[in-house]
Structure 1
């Protein structure tokens, strides 16, 4: 893999850390700012809202900006947002800082996925995208537990200062390692919007919303399930979250080669496996022996869906893939919010702490149904496939002296 992928992975590590670390710092933030934990929970929602809003908005505004420069601008905004969070004097300014930090998330991954796929041969595109996402999964193994421990010992502001420092490191890596890309790759907003309106792109985004919501229906309440049902001590939660991150990494490692070999079968298989794992999780959560294994499996099959979904959106919007790719991350964050809400509804209805796993299984099956429907419709419109094949040669960067020219 090119070293440029490492720069993207470092950036993804920082983004993944700041996205998930707030969940472990809510009691500390609430106590320091004099608010309740549920109110502090809106800081998680503020980041997700930033992702949903920022993905299409910033991608559209930056449609004509060269890809490398756009990555630098987005990572700069991410760094500023985390620095602002670290020095926020009160709750509302911290809420604004979290929203600001979330704005570049989807756009960065959208642009980054397109860049990663352009840096390698056609048959290795999915592996390149999956390698970038390894930074996100590593954040859940190392970054989130370390940042949470740092925040608990030195205060939550120290956590966001360190994340801002990671942002500065990522800026340096992007500036040094990302090559220039051809100017003809840059498309206008109108062309990006036309690509986004394609039925296959919309169906892929809908698959992400329903399918991945199944993961977050459980992940949002994982700590409570493990303590209230399984019987683990509060001190074990950090380790269990790290196990989820290990599962995510295993899923990302498997997703690249499988997606390069057979995209739709990988997507169908991962969603079907996710539904089965979620049903099994409902029962495994009652056993201290089975629960950790179930956590790893949930992370693995859950993240196995992300690469084929990302590649499917990019393929179907091939002539203008950046906005569609970024919108995929808006879809994932809608899945985050929707899955957490539906899981909470099930718990509030008195169905038990593990009921979100069954809710998640239903959501995964719904995502699988949408994916299969999209596949059937795609087979009936062969012209779309022929357009994709025809566009492959023209959209690959031309290397000049080993580096693509802008």
Structure 2
């Protein structure tokens, strides 16, 4: 893999830390700003909503700029809003910074996915995607637990300051490593890219990504109260549990990246089934610390292994839309990231307890499996029908 691809992962690390770190800060933010835990959890949904709206729009806008200029501009805005978030006493302003930060993150990731795919051979998109997303998993392993620890020691604002500081070397890394050519240099026209996005296979992959990522964020957003109020562990365990999930996600992305180019069907079918069963097992066994800790590690691996494979399959499904497919994949996955925490918070707010988000995660993955199964059966029926029609014509 090109070294520049790893440097892009540095910026993705900073942005991934911001996106995920609220899972360990939700209780403190709620208490400090005088809002409920579900309301504070909605900050994750606000970030995801900004990603959903911003990804395709920013991807289209970035076609007019150089790749380096687009990435640096998005990263600069991302850094600035975290400074504002660190000093504000208004929950409304904090929500606004999450939305604007998400727009910047969405634009950066959309351009970065297209850049990563263009750095490698056409048959190595899965590995390129997993390398780039390694920044997200590193955020889960190091950044998110560190953010939770900073929140416990010096308050949640310290975590926002830390993201801003980590973004500074990311700016230098992008400026030095990314070519300055036009983002749409040598690319198809915008109208041509939009036409290629109509592929039915792409639409199914994006729907599956939204459901799987919704399941991931539904439980991950409320992992801290699950650990402290259901599992019965002290608050000091929260960074450890988040690190376990992150370690699992790193393994999942690494293994998934190696298999995504060769055996994507096996990863999606086997990993998806295991993921659904894993969420059910966590919902039932969350009261036992050893069971909960082991399942958090496993579910991190399965969630990110399946999720990263779906992203690579989106890139394969729309080879003629190298700029926009990254934006639409980012948007689809963040539809899930917005929907998941909202569903989890709704379940908690309805009095169903802190296990309820885990059950919601299981249902979302089950829906993904049913959708994939229906698509497979329908494709086989169409193929058999076309084969029978061709045989009749030959007769």
| TM value normalised by structure 1 | 0.85
Counterpart check, 1:149 vs 2:168: no
The residue number in structure 2 matching 1:396 is none
The residue number in structure 2 matching 1:179 is 179
The residue number in structure 2 matching 1:24 is 24
The residue number in structure 2 matching 1:246 is 247
The separation in 1 between residues aligned to 2:177 and 2:218, in whole angstroms, is 38
The separation in 2 between residues aligned to 1:92 and 1:221, in whole angstroms, is 21
Name whichever of 191-200 and 348-357 sits farther off: 348-357
Do the aligned residues in 2 keep the contact of 1:229 with 1:286 (CA within 8 Å)? yes
The separation in 1 between residues aligned to 2:230 and 2:32, in whole angstroms, is 30
TM-aligned CA deviation for residue 134 of structure 1: 1.0
TM-aligned CA deviation for residue 297 of structure 1: 0.7
The residue number in structure 2 matching 1:207 is 208
The separation in 2 between residues aligned to 1:345 and 1:239, in whole angstroms, is 27
Do the aligned residues in 2 keep the contact of 1:52 with 1:334 (CA within 8 Å)? yes
The separation in 1 between residues aligned to 2:33 and 2:333, in whole angstroms, is 30
| TM value normalised by structure 2 | 0.87
CA deviation profile, 1:116-171 (whole Å, cap 9, x unmatched): 12212333321121011111111111111212322443343333232122222111
Residues 111-190 of structure 1 mapped to structure 2, 5 A cutoff:
111-180=111-180, 184-190=185-191
Look up the SS of the partner of 1:318 in the other structure: coil
Name whichever of 266-275 and 145-154 sits farther off: 145-154
CA deviation profile, 1:13-38 (whole Å, cap 9, x unmatched): 10111112233334444454455544
Do the aligned residues in 1 keep the contact of 2:44 with 2:338 (CA within 8 Å)? no
Residues 231-380 of structure 1 mapped to structure 2, 5 A cutoff:
231-347=232-348, 352-375=353-376
The residue number in structure 2 matching 1:85 is 85
Do the aligned residues in 1 keep the contact of 2:47 with 2:338 (CA within 8 Å)? no
CA deviation profile, 1:263-316 (whole Å, cap 9, x unmatched): 233222221121121122223323222111101011110111122211111112
Q: 1:276 to 1:91 in 2, by over 3 A?
A: closer
Do the aligned residues in 2 keep the contact of 1:63 with 1:188 (CA within 8 Å)? no
Do the aligned residues in 2 keep the contact of 1:281 with 1:291 (CA within 8 Å)? yes
The separation in 1 between residues aligned to 2:352 and 2:162, in whole angstroms, is 40
Name whichever of 349-358 and 250-259 sits farther off: 349-358
Do the aligned residues in 1 keep the contact of 2:17 with 2:163 (CA within 8 Å)? yes
Do the aligned residues in 2 keep the contact of 1:249 with 1:300 (CA within 8 Å)? yes
TM-aligned CA deviation for residue 178 of structure 1: 2.0
Do the aligned residues in 2 keep the contact of 1:251 with 1:303 (CA within 8 Å)? yes
The residue number in structure 2 matching 1:69 is 69
The separation in 2 between residues aligned to 1:118 and 1:380, in whole angstroms, is 36
The separation in 1 between residues aligned to 2:144 and 2:30, in whole angstroms, is 19
Name whichever of 84-93 and 257-266 sits farther off: 84-93
Do the aligned residues in 2 keep the contact of 1:200 with 1:374 (CA within 8 Å)? no
